[in-house]
A and B are shown apart, each in its own frame.
Chain A
Amino acid sequence: MIFPFESLGSADREVGLVVAVLIGFAFGFVLERAGFGRSTKLAAQFYLNDMTVFKVMFGAIVTAMLGLVVADGLGLADFQVIAESAASTTYMWPMLIGGLLLGAGFIISGYCPGTSIVGAASGNVDGLFTIVGVGLGSLLFSEVYPLIQGFYTSGDQGQMFLYQLLEIPPALLAGGVAVMAVGCFVGAEVVEKIYTRKMSGEEPQLVPVAPRRLVFATFGFATVLGLALLTVPVGARTQIKTEMCDACSVGRIDAEELARRMLDEPWKLLILDTRERSAYEEKRIPGSEHRALAELDSYGLAYSPGVKDLVLVDADGLGYAPPAAMKYPGRVLMLAGGFAAWKAFALEEPPMLTADASDEERAGFLFRASVHQKMTGSKAAPPPPAKATNFTAPKKKRGGGCDG
């Protein structure tokens, strides 16, 4: 697996933010070229005489989905890993109601939040009003959040993907969706013609069919390619995955990050401790299970859903990913420095800060101290108080009673 470049979210964060601007630029550019800077064009979707919104949106979904399936088949990326990192958790009820409300807001304002930005960028004042509305609306949500918190978290399904529900490979479902999309596109063309005649009484303009045919053919080709790559033996793909992983050393997690994730989202971690059993019994990472490396193969990692990230813990850090672990369908992370690093981070008292420590060091210290307290039950001393800046003693009054 080569993609995604995980460092862009951590060590090379600044580069990641530049990439964000570039991706956003392309996003805004395409939306404008599609005509989505104009509310009348967008709203026409709901009067059936211009289905551009549907065509662009569904076309984009199918393209990205099939592209990811092919990348997965070639061993360049992992569909499920990317799905788990980029898709939100499914909360059924708020998403259903949120969708209905957003659709209502769409036809009232003539934009959706993303296209309102493009509308404003094209100089359309109605787009600007819609963005301001979206900002106000999200603040309104924050204000009423305490009242609707119960509903906000209702219908929690965790991360839920349609291919898991249907128990078929993503490539097969993606192919099905692509076929359905082409069917819908053909239907949309017919509906558009009927409603254009009905609303304006004019004959619909003829659009060239060549681009449409080319796009449909590409979808067909990508679907077939994705399915064909499914037949490449799993063993060979595992081999590729292992080599790629060793080559680019992705899939390491340091003790601090592990502690952070254990506090934030422990349900997303499957921690396996591969040290000697006696060492495990003496001290272990909370929530971890013991599995000797030799037993890993019989543990059935290849058949688990792969929803959690598998974290492997060794005494001093594994130099390579064990082949049995690489069969795991989800993300595999090796604890950098192994249990020794964990012990140094979480079980030993954090070194005291000096008074001139920066805010960042201070925040790091507080986090470490809280982890240490949770893991050991003993409380570390608070950091030294922040240095007061530019303190000057008040001037003493001169003169007065006894001075003279």
Chain B
Amino acid sequence: MNPEKFWNPYVAGVVLGLVLLSSFLVMGKGLGASGGVNRVAVCAVDAVASDHVDDNTYMARLKTDGRPLLDSYFVFEILGVLLGGVVSAFAAGRLKGGVIRGPRIGISSRLAFALTGGVLMGVAARLARGCTSGQALTGGALLSAGSWVFMLAVFAGGYALAYFMRRQWT
């Protein structure tokens, strides 16, 4: 079975915009990804070394509201993202295990790059108080000055390094 085609990018953009708009109107919040992932990570640390979380200023403040670490809006939201991704991929006939990579790179190097890039983005998203979802998309639509600086910087950073990463992708 051939997988379904991807949506026209302009149509996908408008639909994504309507999702963001509903989130603004119903919840008064935008979309997010890295914040929820951070909570899950801190929760994992909390399970093995609770004192360490309490001692760290940045992690401890997630606990100040007295609720369990996972009892948070954006944790539930990324759970939804995961479900939505699974359902969409399954319905389109794209749900199969594998490693997506360019023609010139091996599986283990590809996975090493995926992990390294992830670590870099984890640091970057905390520093910038959000990632492409929470900062660029959400703040961009609300015309926040810092979010637009962030968004332009993301593209600048990507293009600056693209030449050195070309063996991985092309």
Contacts and interface: CB of A to CB of B under 8 A. Distances in A.
Interface of A: 3-6, 8-9, 16-35, 37-41, 43-47, 51-52, 55-65, 67-68, 71, 76-77, 79, 81-83, 85-92, 94-127, 129-143, 145-146, 148-149, 152, 157, 159-163, 165, 170, 173-174, 177, 185, 199, 207-208, 211-212, 215, 218, 359-360, 363
Interface in B90-120: 92, 94-102, 110-111, 113-120
B117 A40 contact: no
B111 A61 contact: no
A122 B140 CA distance: 27
Interface of B: 6-34, 37-38, 40-42, 44-45, 56-59, 66, 73-74, 76-89, 92, 94-102, 110-111, 113-162, 165-166, 168-170
A117 B145 contact: no
Nearest to B74: A20
A385 to B, nearest CB: 19
Of residues A83, A87, A170, which shows the largest number of chain B Cβ atoms within 10 Å of its Cβ? A87
Given A59-B14, A123-B96, A137-B123, A113 B42 contact: no
Given A34-B16, A88-B129, A103-B156, A140 B122 contact: yes
A35 B6 contact: yes
Nearest to A83: B142
Nearest 10 Cβ contacts at the A-B interface: A133-B118, A137-B122, A59-B13, A24-B80, A103-B157, A63-B17, A109-B117, A99-B153, A98-B128, A28-B84
Contacts of A146: 57
Given A47-B166, A105-B119, A141-B123, 12 more contacts: A6-B28, A17-B76, A21-B83, A61-B137, A68-B24, A103-B159, A110-B168, A117-B33, A125-B99, A133-B119, A146-B57, A360-B66
A174 B120 CA distance: 32
Q: Is the interface of B mostly helix, strand, loop or mixed?
A: helix
A18 to B, nearest CB: 8
B81 A61 contact: no
Nearest to B126: A141
Given A94-B127, A108-B116, A215 B132 contact: no
Given A68-B24, A87-B142, A111 B81 contact: no
B94 A106 contact: no
Contact of B169 (A110, A117, A141): A110
A211 B25 contact: no
A188 to B, nearest CB: 9
Given A46-B159, A101-B120, A215-B10, A32 B128 contact: no
A60 B17 contact: yes
Contacts of B26: 3-5, 8, 19, 23
Contact of A33 (B12, B57, B132): B12
Contacts of B154: 99-100, 102-103, 106, 112
A99 B156 contact: yes
B80 to A, nearest CB: 2
Contacts of B66: 359-360, 363
A123 B17 contact: no
Given A56-B13, A107-B117, A110-B100, A65 B84 contact: no
A59 B17 contact: yes
Of residues B11, B114, B133, which shows the largest number of chain A Cβ atoms within 10 Å of its Cβ? B114
Given A30-B15, A89-B146, A124-B98, A207 B122 contact: no
B130 A88 contact: yes
Contact of B111 (A104, A111, A125, A165): A125
Given A25-B83, A28-B84, A102-B128, A82 B156 contact: no
A251 to B, nearest CB: 13
B101 A126 contact: yes
11 contacts: A21-B79, A27-B84, A33-B6, A59-B17, A65-B142, A101-B120, A124-B98, A136-B115, A137-B121, A208-B8, A215-B10
